[in-house]
Structure 1
Amino acid sequence: MQKHGIKADVRQKKRSRKKEQQQYQEDNLLERKFIQIAPNLIWVSDTTELTYGRNNKVRLHVVLDLYDRYVFSYHISPTETAEAAIEAFKRAAKQAGTFAPMIHTDRGAAYTSKDFNNYLTSNNSKHSLSAPGTPADNAVIEHYWGDFKHIWMAHHSHPQTLAELKNLVK
């Protein structure tokens, strides 16, 4: 083809941005209704990266109840996986004695995975998702991360071991 000057004519599939935006709006069941009237109706979750020692990294998974905005479950794992997110929710259910009928998260790989969504379905819970690049859709937990990292963690000495980090998080 190159020798004879022939080029392939490949059309790019057109994306429907309106359809994608509509899907994101439909997926966001919470719709930024952060004030709740009772505990354990809606839990929000997110993960963040923490470091200890010389650039050793772990992921902190947190589950927060929107009613009192209290973190009642967390899990520290080496990477962000569906299994680690599920473990945080198992701990939350054990602590609360129930499972929230709605869970709101961002669109991280752990939360959009088949395993995580099957876990929510098996616990009769609906999954609400933030739109991509829209942290305001999960503002309560994003505010929590700000307090946790920039107030709590910044006012303590940098942990040198994983045990020190776990103790500081606890």
Structure 2
Amino acid sequence: MSAIDHPNIQWRRVSSKYATLGAINYAITTLFFIAVAVGLSFIPDDGWWWLFGAIPAVIFASQIFFVVIRTRAIGYALREDDIVYRQGIWWSRMVAVPYGRLQLVDISRGPIERMLGLASLKMVTAAASTGLAIPGLPLEEANGLRDHLIRVAETRRAGL
């Protein structure tokens, strides 16, 4: 059993409102392609031009159903020496960022995220491959996590 799969690690999930955010984004894109399909259907020809809008609309609409599953697969855990982040269903990604390597911890919020009370927490290290962003956190949790990570990072860097 690896350290990441250890049963004592308490994984924290992102807010279920993050699924709502994803569904809204896919719905907007779907509506755009529906409008394209309708517009292309007025082209006087054999009548197949509308497929250039309809096919992407169907693809994006089908993604709305998978948003909840993908949201449930996102999580993070605070360990003694690092923060571990996981995401993905088919192609999973798991990243461990040592606290002492953190250089910047930032919170960002788009307009729909603000309406839903969500935020994304971004962590930057010297190595670009280990930087990560945790989306879909409630704002209070993101602020608390940012403050905790900054506090712990300062003590770990001082010990280097």
TM score, norm. by length of structure 1 = 0.24
Task: Considering fraction of residues, name the structure with more helix.
Answer: 2
TM score, norm. by length of structure 2 = 0.25
